[in-house]
Structure 1
Amino acid sequence: MRPGPGQHLYSAFHDLIAPFRDSGTNTTKFTIHWISAHSEVVGNEKVDEEAKSAAQGASTARPFLPDCLKRPLPIGKSSLLQLAKEQRTENWKASWLTSPRRKKMKKIDKDFPFKKFGKITSELTRRQTSILVQLRTGHLPLNDYLHKRKLAPSPLCQACNEQRRETINHLIKECPAYQHQRRKLKRAIHGRGLSEPLLLLSDPKRVKPIIQFIEETKRWTNGRMTNPTPS
């Protein structure tokens, strides 16, 4: 039999029946059937009742227990995986609570551990997901971001003559070079204001219109940000 959950019980049962199985002419045959949980099998329901009773302390006296039950039972694989998952989540939460990025991200998405984000990205292409991640983290390679890292000669927006830093807010809600795209965005988000555009990034119904706006500005071409000629 291939090892799996409950294998130690299967082995222990074989050890218990060994004297009866190898008793010559009085050999007794046993058949083991695995029954799925919640199958409404009378015997299975009785086992569940006994297990609950034992868990509450109503167990057979230790001297009458088989040897395999006088010592701690092995921990099942599924239990170990569940425990590891819970510990990983707790460690993640503890690390996140002390992270300097927590305060900034909380303004965008309060839904830690960001289960809604997974649902949103499941409906986006890989390219759109990349844009969304960069919007949420503030790493969209606009001139203001690139200039701070000495990757652009100027932090100013080159699409307009406003002499404004090209930030995410400027791109989405201010730059006059993208008025047409912005009107389309406002229609798509059904009247939601753009005073704080990053707050819309946790709204599944409004994330895609913002990403489409970014794409339509043509600032994102072939996976790279391109600088347009000033209007």
Structure 2
Amino acid sequence: MLRMTNTPRSCPPRYRKLKLKTLSVTLGARAEQNPFSAELAAMAHALNMVVGVKDYRITLVTSNKAAALTIRNPRQQSGQEFVSQLYKLMRKLRRNGNHINVRWISTSEDNKLRGLAKEQARAATQEDAVPQKQVPRMKSTTLNIARSQAVPSNDLPANIGKHAKRVDAALPGKHTRQLYDRLSWKEASVLAQLRTGMARLNGYLYRINVADTDQCACGQARETMEHFLFRCQKWTAHRTELLQCTNTHRGNISFFLGGKSPSDDQKWTPNLEAVRASIRFAIATGRLEAT
């Protein structure tokens, strides 16, 4: 648990001797609060203790530079509720003729009050302590802890991009830019259709309820990307250049669309000539153009 300790000087009538008081309050779990919010809460608590005094010079001493700067120039930092509370208390105190000063001291500076506050904080910290009242959690702290605990994954969800993962086992990276950077808009559009499977082919159009059937116009099979690129007899005459790119990878959709197949090693690079041949083939057929 995160606990706060403050050592304000109480302000008794002038004929009494000054007394040094310490206090500690459980603010919240470390997953919800941080030293910055604890310092703001402690300062607000200290001012609240002396809110009834008149004609005093009150100095708030803090070793948290962020807290001191926030009071001086509040913007949109965390802990706005504590900042608002501080400003309300300061206005009340100033109406009673008090002068309030906020002083930042370096952690390396030898200061009796700071040392006492540290000792009280260590002594007061206990496991399983319960906050005395509910206070707003610090959004930045909660988000940072959640991000640090999240396990990064380099894998796409199983139900996302089945065709794209079949075409390219590698995640988008330098090779993707290499494929698209030197293409015209039309060529890039065609390649994107081929690689994602979201193309103007009946296999996809039927799946999204745009076409009445998923069958190819040749009548031989479903119009899938593989059927369109390698098997449809309607486009045999356009496929000559495509087949001349390789003798060993014919029918390998990853090879022709610049993707990495599971059998490729770490030194794999896309065959740009095969990719360009696939793009030229698709453009020549006119099958992927809007109608």
When normalised by structure 2's length, the TM-score is 0.40
Select the structure that is richer in strand: 2
Whichever of the two has the greater Rg, that structure is 2
In the superposition, the TM-score normalised over structure 1's length comes to 0.50
